[in-house]
Amino acid sequence: MSDVFPAATIVLVRDNQSFHEQSVLEVLLMHRSREVSFASDSWVFPGGKIDRDDYRSELNNIEMAARYGAVRETLEEAALMVDESSLFYFAHRTTPPKRPKRFATWFYVGVVESTEQVVVDGSEIVDHLWCTPSAALSEYHQQTMKMLPPTVVVLSLLANCQSVAEALKACKTSDLRQQLPDCKMTEQGMVMEYPLMNSELSVEKSSYLLAEPWRLELK
């Protein structure tokens, strides 16, 4: 069975006041290069693997490490500065078994101003798009934008939202919050335990050991 690596992502939202003289909700999607090994040519939210340095001095606090990791990845991929304390943790998803690459991903929602400028790195990320969730879903269903299932689930959650306020409310009241795992340190390493519930974002197994090789160096 493939290792499960911890990762984090931010669903960045904004109110676009200049959209046909009306304010609409937009989300940021990043276009991954066709040359990368994971999610190639897919449109995703900013994010990536959680590194050892993301834990800082709290080696047992993976939720804070996920926040720092998500902020770091967003800066690297989009050149956007996000305050980790402003993020809201609303969903979690682990790649199903038998996939060649598996990630346990913390999903956050964050707000940016409409004046913020995105600059992609040009290697892993080759383009970006601010659009309404419903427009992104339309492109996905027309097969003009490739997306991973969790991206589609989150966009569907926000599809009827007209503002940042509505998007935050949708995330804070979503059923996805009922499936957040508990994490604890064991002698083997960091273990996630999911509630025994079924969901489009949940997994087939209730407990996973995260692959963090650097912890072996601490023993």
Q: Is the pTM of this model over 0.85?
A: yes
Q: What does the domain layout of the chain look like in residue ranges?
A: 4-177
For position 152, what pLDDT does the model report?
Answer: 96
What phi and psi, each to the nearest 5 degrees, are found at residue 121?
A: -75, -15
Is residue 70 within 8 A of residue 9, CB to CB? The reply is: yes
pLDDT tens for each residue of 150-169? 999 999 999 999 999 999 99
From first CA to last CA, the distance across the chain in angstroms is 25
Q: Who wins on pLDDT, 135 or 214?
A: 135
Burial group, residue 32, by CB count within 10 angstroms (0-12, 13-18, 19+): buried
d(CA 150, CA 94): 10
For position 219, what pLDDT does the model report?
Answer: 56
Q: What mean pLDDT is predicted for residues 37-46?
A: 91
pLDDT tens for each residue of 177-194? 877 888 888 888 888 888
pLDDT tens for each residue of 60-108? 899 999 999 999 999 999 999 999 999 999 999 988 877 888 899 999 9
d(CA 181, CA 103): 14
For position 203, what pLDDT does the model report?
Answer: 47
pLDDT of residue 15 exceeding 50, the answer is: yes
- Fold of the domain built from segment(s) 4-177: Nucleoside Triphosphate Pyrophosphohydrolase (3.90.79)
Q: What mean pLDDT is predicted for residues 127-154?
A: 96
